[in-house]
Amino acid sequence: MKFEVNEHGYYGNYGGAYIPEMLFPNVQELKEKYLLIMNDASFKEEFDLLLKDYVGRPSPLYYASRLSVHYKTKIYLKREDLNHTGAHKINNTLGQILLAKRLGKTRIIAETGAGQHGVATATVCALMGLKCIVYMGEIDIERQAPNVARMKLLGAEVIPATSGSKTLKDATNEAIRDWINNPVDTYYIIGSVVGPHPYPDMVAKFQSVISEEIKTQLKEKTGKEDPDFVIACVGGGSNAAGAFYHFLDSGNVKLIAVEAAGKGVDSGHSAATSILGKPGIIHGSKTLLMQTFDGQITEPYSISAGLDYPGVGPIHAHLFETGRATFASITDEEALEAAYLLCELEGIIPALESAHAFAHLKYLNAKPDEIVVINLSGRGDKDLATYIRHKDLANE
C-alpha cells in the first residue's frame, strides 16, 4: 500500500520515534512484536469475538434519508456512536490491551484530556482484570467530572498532572515518566494515531475495522464497495485513519478530513492543525504541529474537547502534504448547527467532534447520485450541557 508506514515508522516525511533514550527498550519491544502478535490467528480470533460480542460490531451503516434529501445527495452514516462506551475509541483500547496481555504486561497506563480515552481504557482494563492508571491534567479533572467518576467506577486510579498548564500535554509527560520508571510490567495505551512508531500504525490498524466494514456494507446496500466521499473529523486522527484506511489506495474515493477551526482559523482560538501547523515533534513523532515562531507548542482551542489537540497524527500530515486527503476546518458555531440539524432530521444526537464532519456537508457540492459516507465517531450524551447552553443562547 502506498500510504503504509515504512520500516522506520515514516509516512513520507512524517512519523518516526523521537523518544528519550530510557524509553528505547519499551518502544523497541513493541516495534519488534506488534505485527507478529496482531497477525497471529488466535489474536485475531479473540479481538474479532470481543469486537462482536462486547463492542457490538459491526456497527451499522445507515442510509440517512432525510439528511440526504436536505443535502441533495446520498448520505450514509457509519454508526460508531452505537459502540459500547459510545465512540470508536474502544476499538483501539481493546486491541491494545489484548496486545499488552500477550506481551505479559500486568499494569496499564494512559493519559487523557477530556476523559474519553481514559474511560475506554478503564473499560478494557476492567474487562481483562488489569490494573489501570490514568494521568489527567488537574484542570481537566475539574472540567470533566462525569468521566472522572466513570473511570473510578470502572476501577481505575486517576492521577492528576499538576505541572505546566495542567492539561493533556502535562498528563502525557506524566504517563511517559511512569513508563520510563516501570519498563518491565507496564504497557502504555495511546489513544489516537499519535506517539512514536509503532503506535500510529498500530492504532490505525485497530481502527481500520471501520473502513473494512464500510466496504462490505456499502456493497450489500449499493452494489459497489467504494463511495465517492468519506468524511471524518480529526483530532489526533484515529477515527479518520480507520474510516480512510481501506480506501487509501482507491484514488476514486475522495477523503475529507475535518479539523476544528474553533472561533475561526485566524482567531488565535483554533485547532486547525494542518492549516496552521509547521513540522515539529510532539509525543515522539515528527508531524504538523501548531507552534510559535520559536517552536513552543501553541495551546489549541475547540468547543469539542476531543478535537482540541495541537498536533495531528503523522499519517494525516502525510495525507495533507501529498494531497491524498482534503483538509477542511469547521468553526464551533457551524458544528453546533450541524448537530442540531442531525437531531431534527434523523433523531441522532452526535458527539460534538463528529458534528464537525457533518458541518462539512454544506461545502461538499456532491451530485445527487454520489455516495457520501460520514463517520459518526461518537454519540452526544457527553455534550448535552453544551448543546443545551448554546440552543438557549441562540433562542434568547
Q: Which residues are catalytic?
A: 89, 111, 377
Other residues' Cβ atoms within 10 Å of the Cβ of residue 4:
11
From the list 15-23, 217-225, 235-243, 287-295, the region that binds ligand PLP by CB under 6 A is 235-243
Q: What are phi and psi of 65, to 5 degrees?
A: -75, -40
Among 235, 262, 284, 310, interactor with ligand PLP by CB under 6 A: 235
* Residue 118 touches ligand PLP, criterion: CB under 6 A: no
CB of 44 to ligand PLP, least distance (A): 23
Rounded (to 5) percent helix, strand, coil in the chain: 50, 20, 30
Contact stretch for ligand PLP (CB under 6 A) within 60-68, 70-78, 234-242, 326-334:
234-242
CB of 261 to ligand PLP, least distance (A): 15
Nearer to ligand PLP, 74 or 167 (CB): 167
Query: Amino acid identity of 365?
Result: N
Cα distance between residue 256 and residue 331, in whole Å: 16
Please report whether residue 115 would count as binding ligand PLP according to CB under 6 A.
no
Cβ atoms 202, 34 nearer than 8 A: yes
The DSSP call for residue 298 is P
Q: Whole-angstrom Cα distance, residue 244 to residue 13? A: 20
Q: Helix 332-346 crosses helix 352-359 at what angle (to 10 degrees)? A: 90
Report the site for ligand PLP in 139-198 (rule: CB under 6 A).
192
Sole window of 1-9, 23-31, 230-238, 359-367 interacting with ligand PLP (rule: CB under 6 A)? 230-238
Nearest to 361 by CA among 325, 332, 316, 328: 328
Number of Cβ atoms within 10 Å of the Cβ of 263: 16
Q: In this complex, which beta carbon is closest to ligand PLP, that of residue 101 or of residue 200? A: 200
Asked if 200 touches ligand PLP (CB under 6 A), the answer is no
- Closest to ligand PLP by CB, 40 or 212: 212
Which of 9, 15, 237, 277 contacts ligand PLP by CB under 6 A?
Answer: 237
Q: Which residues 331-390 are close enough to bind ligand PLP by CB under 6 A?
A: 351, 353-354, 377-378
Q: Point out the residue whose Cβ comes nearest to ligand PLP.
A: 378
Contact 348, 376 (CB under 8 A): yes
Maximum Cα interatomic distance, the chain, rounded to a whole number of Å: 59
277 scored as a contact of ligand PLP (CB under 6 A): no
Positions in the binding site for ligand PLP (CB under 6 A): 87, 89, 116, 192, 233-239, 306-307, 351, 353-354, 377-378
